Structure 1
Amino acid sequence: MKRFTFVLGIWLVICCSICSVSHAEESITPERIQQLFPKATVIGEKQADYPVYPVYQLQELLGYAFQSNDLVELPGFSGDRINLLIGIDVQGNIVGIDILHHHEPIFLHGLGPEPMLKFLDQYIGQNVSNRVIVDSASNDTNPNDNTVHVDGVTKATVSVIVMSDTVLLSALQVARNKLTGFASAPAATAKQDNYEPLTTAQLLEKGYLKAWQISRETFENALGSDLDDYPTETFDTDFNDTFTVYYAYLNSPLIGRNLLGEDAFNRLQSMLKPNEQAFMVMSEGYFSYLDADFKPGTVPSQVSLTQNELPFAMRDLNFFSFEPQALEGDLAATEDLQLFAVNTQSGFNPSVPMQLNLNIEVAKNHLIKQQAQFSSDYALPEALFDIAEVEVMEEPQPAWVRVWKMRWHTITILVLSLITVTAIFAFQHKLSANQALFRKVRWGFMFFTLFFIGWYAQGQLSIVNIYPILQSFINGFDLQVYLMDPVLFILWLYVFISLFIVGRGIFCGWLCPFGALQEMVGWVAKRFRIRQYKISFSLHRRLWWIKYAILIGLAATSYYSLSAAEVLSEVEPFKTAITLHFVRYWPFVLYTLVLLGLGLFINKFYCRYVCPLGAGLAVLGYFHKFEWLTRRKECGKPCTMCYHKCDIKAITPEGKVDYNECVQCLECIVYYNNDDLCPPLKKAKKTKRAKPDIADSLATEVK
């Protein structure tokens, strides 16, 4: 036994050395973004207004890179978020995904990173407008629709669903905010059949065209200086004393067609992208609304729109690059006539009142610059628009809801099995009275636990599942973390309730897949009459403390480093034997086989002396309310049969049941209710048979 304790210590040291591989979050570097966009020549800084990195090839925008943690908060199976570096191009196609940080145990210390990378590779080339379903790629039978099926990862259902949501939701947010064509349709659309010829005077009279005049006095008061005090090229004071800004909304034919003419209006309509709204702006007088270094096709610095106190940038359409600056009617075009586009994806609505803003900055000399702000109200009648009801975007169902729906059949069978095991305990005395029937029920349920709950439903509870609970004392409680796996959630709920009723035994003896596997190893040992190693009760009590020491060490480590605690949790062979079906790197398989091999000579060796989960359940189960494993006054003195028959020594020499160690296999109840096995019952039965014989003898003598 000392040798095994030494080997166990060596194993923990090896696990600690594995912990030196860091799973800390990696930083975003230009080199990592370059891998997503191989043709990129310029990678911009993270934008201040929205957390994305613009990526260019020379002057052409290729797309954006961003990290998912800036946009979504979706806890993974471990309770920690999966942070991905994602790239999308200007068409909304996902061009690359890089893993910055994750804490999914199945990919860290189980299946390895390859299945995770292979899963994420399926999203490269997908458009963010596609509906992606995680099940099987073979279900994608219609390539012409926007529904895409991708292969999931067996044994990692929760993790891949969270990864899928992380990729799609964050990418869709960026597309709606930064790309044209991905925003919701505007609440107001200009009516295209609403047209009649109008003169410039009529457009001004109806308020469709605004002539915003700023007098020289107003301008000087805002600047705090006389215009003559500025360099001569700044203001054209010889022109007149009035600065007039003409502006108008152009999407409505009633305005745009009358101002531009039919041909120019049609050309404008063909240039506008979906949801773009066009405006005309020009000025005349002593100043120009355009800044001196304005370049066509860019956003001017001195003019913008505001609506509901929110600013909206106006992007120049470069409409007059190959056409002369001209307007219809009697309004003469000026040199700063420009057409601008405003995208409605940020919430701009042309039917709602707005303001045109001038943000003037002029240099008085090479040291001093002065600023002035002006604003003009602009409102259009609703008659110009088709007002659509605001589309309420249907929120996607939480990932845990989808998982529960996907696994409804597994959930149903599991719940029925828990009802069954509850009935077994409730009617344990009636069932155990028939020894043969009880054995069949017991063996049948053990096979069900191993094959269905364990290998199929992946319902092996683990000390790893307790780490999120410990972390919740620091980071706060999030129920979704526990709902992500319905099988584990239902099992934990059942076990937690039963702990305070009858102790840890229902799980350890009936619902633990690895415990069932160990019990089957014990059956093999009995079948082949393998000699069992006898451990004295005093040594047995001392060996108990190994699993409690492991439990304390793991719990303490989880607060220091969750990654280290998860690696050290490999002291549990559950992932190797149950989750991965022994398909794993050979040292893990060897370790598991050694534990099972020891079970051939010491029944349920791992459960009794190593299992930290069992230790944790025993601590909570210490406060159980009922002790329903019935005992007689003869138990322990003089009868010690149950003490000797209990394979895990959960019955003391005094005949008492130690519920901290008992797995409630109910074997002692089989003896308790069988008058051919229980010595006190056998004695009572023999005495009962002897009494009629004595009575018959006395009757004969009387005769």
Structure 2
Amino acid sequence: MSAYRTCVAILALVLLQAFPAWTEPLARAQMSELVVPPYSLGDPLNDRGVWTLLNSGGAEAGYVFETGELAPLPGFSGVPINLFVMLDSEGRFIDVRLIEHNEPIFVSGLGEAPFHAFFEQYAGLSISSSIVVGTPYGDGRGESSLVYLDGVTKATASVRIAHESILAATLAVAREKMRGLAADTAARPDPELVIDLTWDDLLAEHLVARRTVTNAEADAAFAETIWADDDPEAGEKPEETYLGLWAVDIGPPSIARAVLSNGTFAELQRFLELSPEVEPFLLIDTGRHGLVSDEFVRNTAPDRIYLEQDGLPVALRDADLIVELADGVPDGTAMILRTDRRLGFDPAREWTLQVQAVREHGMFQPEIGSVMFEVTHATDERFFLRDGSAEPTPPWLEAIRNRLFDLVVLVVFLAVLGAVLFVGMNRLAVLERFTPLRLGILGFVIVFVGWWGQGQLSIVTVLATLRSAVEGGSLAYLIYDPFSLLIWVATIIGFVLWGRGFFCGWLCPFGAMQEFMHHLGARMRLPRIDPPARWDRRLKAIKYVLLAGLVVTVFVAPDHVDTAAEIEPFKTAVTVYFLREWYYVLYAGFWLGLGLFLFKGFCRYVCPLGAFMAIGGLLRGRDWIARRAECGDPCQLCRVRCKYGAIGKRGKIEYSECFQCLDCVTIHQDIKQCVPLVLAARQARNGVAAK
């Protein structure tokens, strides 16, 4: 307990004395150093890091700004990724560079180079383009107007946060400075407005956008080009419909109810409850265009549909909802798309929907040609509300939906494992094949939770959360990784039920690796290292000292936190599959190799996350390991067998060091191993024999 008190005292001291402020915008001299020639820095436009950009002749040529002040989306370290952006007067990116970040995957995982390389892709791109992170589907021959940026493997979430920060900050500057638009709060659907509407009512009140293109009109759009004769069906049936487009903003519930079946309407409302910042659109095509290409993948950006407002692009994404239409609504290809009001889209102002028509010319490596058909629309203001100030909602739904299958598997695994351990632990521990079963579960944890799901928890998250809590920052970065967040939730529940043992014994991928190394060493009959009890106690205190040191580092030298957190070999062994510099691999390999001789040495003596888990385990509400009066006096079998040294001489369980291996539970339940049970059985037999 002395280690606990020491650690808690240090934590309290740091929290009382640390009052760091948010990072201020860069000073003029610092911004000037980042501006690339022949441009130079002009005058500041506000106190949020926006400056004018001057050309070589001293005339205004665009804008220079930081994203941290304009779009402070928190990264995985709990603080925003701050980027430097140079934008010309035509809305093209001149340069995008990284100013400051603390993303763990780059700081102490992949290195900085991939992150810097990602931002180099923005130069020359226009904010009028629909820029997305990812790769084109199908053959990628360029028939879509989407502009794709190559992401960074294993860092998708961090890259997406950075990309959203750039877009949000850039569009904010463009709307306010380049288009002369006021940065008003966007309208949002009024959930209390109930109007009984039908499809005919929508048409009569101009609440539906309509655009019809015949085959003849499509042919005319391609006239005098090499693609003029590349659609035989258009020539054979000129009066038939090529594109019969209906577009409806279904954010307002009254409008949505008029166009959707009851089942689809209910599903849409559940979707919007989870993600209230989304504005959904229903599109119907009664022609043969079909809205999207054959290569389109659901839940991604549509490859032939684009939305603009004020001449600037609005990001669209498939809502991945099965659409059933209400009676009376035109039948055709239907889909629901969604956009994000937090990026500046105002559903109550005029917007333009564009649909791309594509033709191919030639048999081998055909040339791709396209034209745009568009329709402009604005939904009546009476269906919307405008607040005095917008309260942004973190974009967590997309992260959940992108990993829905993994999350379902994880939920089932955690629920089954938790239920078995809570209800049937004693029966589980006495199974003849318990050890192979446990190793099977740990193998699943390594492969699915660790390598596949990237769910290895880290002390970095704890430190980032602590920093955000003290500074009053947002914890929204946690939802960008819902897989790990779910494991955190299970771990915290485990604190109450079992202490630290649920995570450290069953859910930690690196801990599972060490346990496998222990069994391998036993199979190889390698010598065992068992420190004496006195040294074992001293060595266990090291992890608390390391945890306290990391907490101090958060406030004294925050830029070095991720470097200091490399005391954990988790990123090397789990996050990047040992694909790192040799010294990181050697360090991780050392602890795994030591596991052949010393049972889970890193977990027991060094792991700062384990120290945090032990402190969290003080929330434990019960002693879940049954004991008998004879435990400890005279019976010492459980204490001798405990590889963690978590049982005292008097038989008391030290739950702060218990990893829930269940070895002592197995002994306690086994009439062939538990000494009190063996003696009781022997006395019973002797009594029967005496009679």
Distance 1:174 1:481 in 2: 24
Select 2:565's aligned residue among 549, 564, 569.
Answer: 569
**1:223-262 Cα distance to aligned partner (Å, 9 max, x none):** xxxxxxxxxxxxxxxxxxxxxxxxxxxxxxxxxxxxxxxx
Preserved contact between residue 162 and residue 399 of structure 1 (Cα < 8 Å): no
Which residue does 1:542 correspond to in 2? 538
Q: How much has 1:555 moved relative to structure 2?
A: 1.2
Which residue does 1:157 correspond to in 2? 156
Which residue does 1:134 correspond to in 2? 133
Task: Please state if 1:625 is matched with 2:621.
Answer: yes
Q: How much has 1:163 moved relative to structure 2?
A: 0.2
Which residue does 2:427 correspond to in 1? 430
Select 1:480's aligned residue among 468, 476, 498.
Answer: 476
What letter corresponds to residue 489 of structure 2 in structure 1? L
Task: Please state if 1:148 is matched with 2:147.
Answer: yes
Preserved contact between residue 176 and residue 183 of structure 2 (Cα < 8 Å): no
Q: How much has 1:571 moved relative to structure 2?
A: 1.1
What letter corresponds to residue 46 of structure 1 in structure 2? P
Give the TM-score normalised by the residue count of structure 2: 0.63
**1:641-661 Cα distance to aligned partner (Å, 9 max, x none):** 111111111112222211010
Q: How much has 1:467 moved relative to structure 2?
A: 1.1
Which residue does 2:166 correspond to in 1? 167
Distance 2:36 2:556 in 1: 38
Preserved contact between residue 26 and residue 100 of structure 1 (Cα < 8 Å): no
Q: How much has 1:32 moved relative to structure 2?
A: 6.6
**1:82-117 Cα distance to aligned partner (Å, 9 max, x none):** 111112223222221011111112212221111112
Which protein, 1 or 2, shows the higher relative CO under an 8 Å CA cutoff with sep ≥ 6?
2
Select 1:592's aligned residue among 588, 591, 598.
Answer: 588
Distance 1:406 1:469 in 2: 24
Select 1:662's aligned residue among 649, 652, 658.
Answer: 658
Preserved contact between residue 140 and residue 149 of structure 1 (Cα < 8 Å): no
Preserved contact between residue 25 and residue 101 of structure 1 (Cα < 8 Å): no
What letter corresponds to residue 538 of structure 1 in structure 2? R
What letter corresponds to residue 164 of structure 1 in structure 2? H
Distance 1:538 1:489 in 2: 37
Preserved contact between residue 76 and residue 481 of structure 1 (Cα < 8 Å): yes
3-state SS of paired residue (1:531): coil
Distance 1:388 1:474 in 2: 44
Preserved contact between residue 625 and residue 665 of structure 2 (Cα < 8 Å): yes
Preserved contact between residue 137 and residue 151 of structure 1 (Cα < 8 Å): no
What letter corresponds to residue 81 of structure 2 in structure 1? I
Q: 1:146 to 1:475 in 2, by over 3 A?
A: farther
Distance 1:529 1:409 in 2: 42
What letter corresponds to residue 459 of structure 2 in structure 1? I
Task: Please state if 1:412 is matched with 2:411.
Answer: no
3-state SS of paired residue (2:62): strand
Give the TM-score normalised by the residue count of structure 1: 0.62
Once the two structures are aligned, what percentage of the paired residues are identical?
36
Which residue does 1:504 correspond to in 2? 500
What letter corresponds to residue 628 of structure 1 in structure 2? W
Distance 2:679 2:615 in 1: 39
Preserved contact between residue 454 and residue 574 of structure 2 (Cα < 8 Å): yes
3-state SS of paired residue (1:86): strand
Q: 1:95 to 1:397 in 2, by over 3 A?
A: farther
Task: Please state if 1:646 is matched with 2:642.
Answer: yes
Preserved contact between residue 175 and residue 181 of structure 2 (Cα < 8 Å): yes
3-state SS of paired residue (2:515): helix
What letter corresponds to residue 89 of structure 1 in structure 2? D
Which residue does 1:44 correspond to in 2? 42
Q: How much has 1:472 moved relative to structure 2?
A: 3.3
**1:659-682 Cα distance to aligned partner (Å, 9 max, x none):** 010001111111222222223323
Distance 1:595 1:158 in 2: 29
Which residue does 1:452 correspond to in 2? 448
Q: How much has 1:540 moved relative to structure 2?
A: 1.1
Which residue does 1:493 correspond to in 2? 489
What letter corresponds to residue 64 of structure 1 in structure 2? Y
Which residue does 2:88 correspond to in 1? 89
What letter corresponds to residue 429 of structure 2 in structure 1? S
Distance 1:71 1:39 in 2: 26
3-state SS of paired residue (2:630): coil
3-state SS of paired residue (1:96): strand
Q: How much has 1:157 moved relative to structure 2?
A: 2.5
3-state SS of paired residue (1:518): helix
Q: How much has 1:629 moved relative to structure 2?
A: 0.9
3-state SS of paired residue (1:565): helix
Q: 1:393 to 1:643 in 2, by over 3 A?
A: same
Q: 1:77 to 1:393 in 2, by over 3 A?
A: farther
Q: 1:71 to 1:526 in 2, by over 3 A?
A: same
Q: How much has 1:612 moved relative to structure 2?
A: 1.2
Preserved contact between residue 129 and residue 172 of structure 1 (Cα < 8 Å): no
Q: How does 1:384-403 map onto structure 2 within 5 Å?
A: 389=380, 398-403=394-399
3-state SS of paired residue (2:97): strand
* Count of aligned pairs between the two proteins: 478
Q: 1:83 to 1:393 in 2, by over 3 A?
A: farther
Distance 1:156 1:25 in 2: 27
Q: How does 1:222-621 map onto structure 2 within 5 Å?
A: 389=380, 398-426=394-422, 427-436=424-433, 438-476=434-472, 478-621=474-617
What letter corresponds to residue 432 of structure 1 in structure 2? A
Preserved contact between residue 25 and residue 100 of structure 1 (Cα < 8 Å): no
Preserved contact between residue 139 and residue 149 of structure 1 (Cα < 8 Å): no
The structure that has the greater radius of gyration is 1
Say which is worse superposed, 477-486 or 407-416, in terms of deviation.
Answer: 477-486
Which residue does 1:121 correspond to in 2? 120
Q: How much has 1:545 moved relative to structure 2?
A: 1.1
Distance 1:433 1:162 in 2: 48
Q: How much has 1:145 moved relative to structure 2?
A: 4.0
Distance 1:387 1:659 in 2: 63
Q: How much has 1:633 moved relative to structure 2?
A: 1.9
Q: How much has 1:559 moved relative to structure 2?
A: 1.7
Which residue does 1:58 correspond to in 2? 57
What letter corresponds to residue 95 of structure 1 in structure 2? I
Distance 2:393 2:469 in 1: 28
RMSD: 3.4
Distance 2:614 2:608 in 1: 10
Unmatched 5+ residue regions in structure 2? 1-22, 188-308, 312-344, 350-376
Distance 1:34 1:503 in 2: 52
Which residue does 1:103 correspond to in 2? 102
Say which is worse superposed, 118-127 or 541-550, in terms of deviation.
Answer: 118-127
What letter corresponds to residue 176 of structure 1 in structure 2? R
Distance 2:661 2:402 in 1: 33
Say which is worse superposed, 152-161 or 442-451, in terms of deviation.
Answer: 152-161
What letter corresponds to residue 87 of structure 2 in structure 1? I
Distance 1:664 1:48 in 2: 57
